[in-house]
Structure 1
Amino acid sequence: MLELRNVNAFYGKIHILHDLNLRVESGEIITLIGANGAGKSTTLMSICGIVPPRTGQILFQGQAIEQLAPNKIVALGMSQVPEGRHIFPRLTVAENLELGAFLRQDKKKIRQDLDQCYALFPILAERRQQPGGNLSGGEQQMLAICRALMARPQLLLLDEPSMGLAPLITKQIFAIIRKINQENGTTILLVEQNAKLALQTADRGYVLENGRIILHDQADNLLKNQDIQKAYLGI
């Protein structure tokens, strides 16, 4: 579904991603782990067209997208839940969700997807007329995920979904992530600071260090890898 080939990305003159190669197959949950500043969020930003790669190629379902504008990439079937949520705090929960479907015209299916979001996170249904800024951090994360789902993505990019959340809420969020993958068939690329939780959730994982992929394996194998345990799992 997604392939990065020798992607190099920069912030100004600062070289962030170095010849990055990554592949995501349809139906998988793939996680990208690494320390702060490793380039994880930049990888997602490059995929979404916000930080276009200077060199290299990004293929989404066989189509080169590295030169496309972000809205064109969304229209192809990709959505991102950004780090820090970035909901619209003055808009209601319902209005935030409706904005997630701004490229769609199928009103009946939009209504169905809205109902599905409320079924996934009943608290959002209870608070649908409240401003998004009045929600707790966990509820805002739920809203950000559902807003992305309203675009009906085939590929969902998640950037640090557990950031700032209590362990119980994090557990609930990750249970929903697995449910979205298993029941909706949505492919997921997950960037997550909690490496243990990410690897327990994912099928495969990539380890990013200083903008370079240094290791790639099945998630179960990475969990057992002593170097990974020492560097990222606190074991």
Structure 2
Amino acid sequence: MPASVEPRRAVLYRMVMERHVCPYGLKAKDLLRRQGYAVEDHWLRTRAETDAFKAEHGVGTTPQIFIDGDRIGGYDDLRRRFGKRVVDPEATTYRPVAALFAMTALMALAASHAVYGTSFTLRAGEWFVAFSMAVLALLKLQNIESFATMFLNYDLLAKRWVPYSYVYPFAEGLAGVLMIAGAATWLSVPVALSIGTIGAASVIKAVYIDRRALKCACVGGSSNVPLGFLSLTENLMMIAMAVWTGIGMAG
């Protein structure tokens, strides 16, 4: 019988305290195991023990990983060693907006199936826009101060009248909820049309006329979403929904 192959070994030092277990230590342990390593897991159980370890090895953070006697570094360094992507926390990305639209689309299809027995209905399209508005408003309202600060960088009306930066999330949420319910269209239509038109004009001016590289407040004031096409989509969707609903009212 062929001799069994011993797993490669790695040594991990991580904080495991009564009130704190380092999440990056857990991630590092999991990654090592998935890469086929047997992990020699050393717990740093107190702040004093952790500080002594850092001083001994001349490092500023934990966890720390050692392979074949060589110090690899922390969790991000370990990911780089295995050729895995390391996310830059400052990098801009459209992923939050794309994920949001994907989820609200699925919600709309599910709601349509529950109500009509089929997912692909005209009402599903309307719900997609309305759900998106409501969820986007929710994200803004998580930290309205942060949203308002970022919004003031580019919105044309907010720069002239600062309170609008606080009104906007509530207006978007109200219009979205009313459109989900199909109620009070006399209110939801002008609200959505107004804020959508102002928002679209603001994005077009900032991005396509002034050529400014800004972050979008569309998913909240702490996001790294760049102001651009997907940001503009939020406003165009509101305009389209308002026009569509308005046509339905007239009919």
TM-score normalised by the chain length of structure 2 = 0.28
Considering Cα pairs closer than 8 Å and 6+ residues apart, tell me whether 1 or 2 has the greater RCO. Answer: 1
Give the number of the structure whose alpha-carbon radius of gyration is greater: 2
Task: Please state which structure has a larger fraction of its residues in strand.
Answer: 1
Task: Please state which structure has a larger fraction of its residues in helix.
Answer: 2
TM-score normalised by the chain length of structure 1 = 0.29
